[in-house]
Structures are given as structure tokens and as C-alpha cells.
Amino acid sequence: MKRIVILISGRGSNMEAMLKAHLPVEFAAVISNEPSAQGLATAQAHGKGIATAVVPHRAFADRAAFDAALAAEIDRHRPDFVVLAGFMRVLTETFVARYSGRMVNIHPSLLPSFPGLHTHQRALEAGVRIHGCTVHFVTPGLDSGPVIIQAAVPVLADDTEDSLAARVLEQEHCIYPQALRWLCDGRVKLGADGTVTVVDATVRRDALISPNLDT
């Protein structure tokens, strides 16, 4: 059974979705850079003996020192995969290389569109009709790693940043556990060219069009 370490900074809603998904994995630890992260209590209450730890980034002189301490805590739990679930720290290239091909993240946009922060507001400002979320491998470039799975939602005429974010979050809670299941089943193949293949995955061939065509 694969061992998973989850990194969080806040409420950990994607972490909670994974814990509730009955995945055939062992959640070895949940680690936060924020001592007050709500997700730590959620993990402790889950009842599966999940270890929790805090590596407070403010206690370190620079990013490299924090990343070294974080890596030491992660490695103590011997994970097969490191899963970022709302972890709000930019990681150094050395740290990313340490877990190359074993660290994944979810981003609230259809990458490569809208990397970085404030994705929902930026989508509204850009006037896009379709928005969504992406699970991807972590690489040194911000939100630029190979894509494993994406989900799309329509942008509605009366959407606010909050309403759009809520609709996207529903899809995040669907696709992140799915991506983790594929990874742990060995169905995700990361090629030397950076492309991802999911073995035996099905693909819908119908289009998502927003607004709808006249009928």
C-alpha cells in the first residue's frame, strides 16, 4: 500500500476529500507550515492514526532553510507520494527535484491559463466562458508541471469570484482523489518528454460549450 504525505496551509478541504474517498492508500502524515491550519484538526479527527506536524516557515531565515526542514519531516514518514493540498509556499528547485515525479498539486484553473494566485477573479476579468481546475506534477516552474487530470465548469453571466470558486472547488474534490488513486495504482505514466498517460482512462468525446448552442 502506497504511503502519502499531504502538505496543507489552511482548512485542507481537498485533503478532507481524499480522506473521505476510501482510497487504498496509507495517509502517513499531514504537515502544515501554519500552526493554526484548520486541516490539522481535521486530520487528527479522522480516526486513522494520521500523524500531524507543523514546520513553521516564519521560524527560518530563508526559503532554503525552511525547505530543508520540511523535507526532513516529510522523509521521516517515508512517503511514496507528496500531495500539495492548498500548500501556500513556493518551493525551491532543490526541494522539487528531491521529489521529482512523486509530488503533485491541484491548481484552481485550466492550466496553462491563470497560473499563480487569484485565478477566479482573473478568469472573470478575462471574460472566459469555461474555467476549471488541474491536477499536475510539481516542477520548478510555477504551476507548469505535466497535467494528470482537469475538470471544466461554465462561467455564468452572474458569477462572482466566490460563486465561481465554489463551483470549481466541487470539481477539485472529485478529481484530486481520482488522480491519487491512479497514481497509487500505477496507472499514471510520466514520460521522459514530460507528457502524462493514464492507462485505461476513459475520455468523453462530447464538447462542453458555454453558453450553449441554440437548439
Of 57, 77, 107, 173, the active-site residue reads 107
| C-alpha span between 71 and 89 (Å, rounded) | 13
Residue 193's domain comprises: 106-209
CA distances from 43 to 13, 31, 32, 102, 118 (A): 11, 10, 11, 22, 27
Q: Are residues 14 and 82 in the same domain?
A: yes
Instruction: Indicate the number of domains in the chain.
Output: 2
**Which of 58, 77, 99 is the endpoint of a domain?**
99
Q: C-alpha angle with apex 25: 169 to 37, nearest 5 degrees?
A: 45
Please check whether residue 128 is in contact with residue 155, taking contact to mean a CB–CB distance below 8 angstroms.
yes
What is the model's pTM?
0.96
> What local confidence, expressed as pLDDT, does residue 4 receive?
98
Helix (H, G, I), strand (E, B) or coil at 55: coil
Q: Are residues 137 and 47 in the same domain?
A: no
CATH of the domain at 149: 3.40.50.170
Could you report the per-residue pLDDT of 153-203, keeping only the tens digit for each?
Answer: 999 999 999 999 999 999 999 999 999 999 999 999 999 898 999 999 999
- Check if 107 is active-site: yes
Could you report the per-residue pLDDT of 112-146, keeping only the tens digit for each?
Answer: 999 999 999 999 999 999 999 999 999 999 999 99
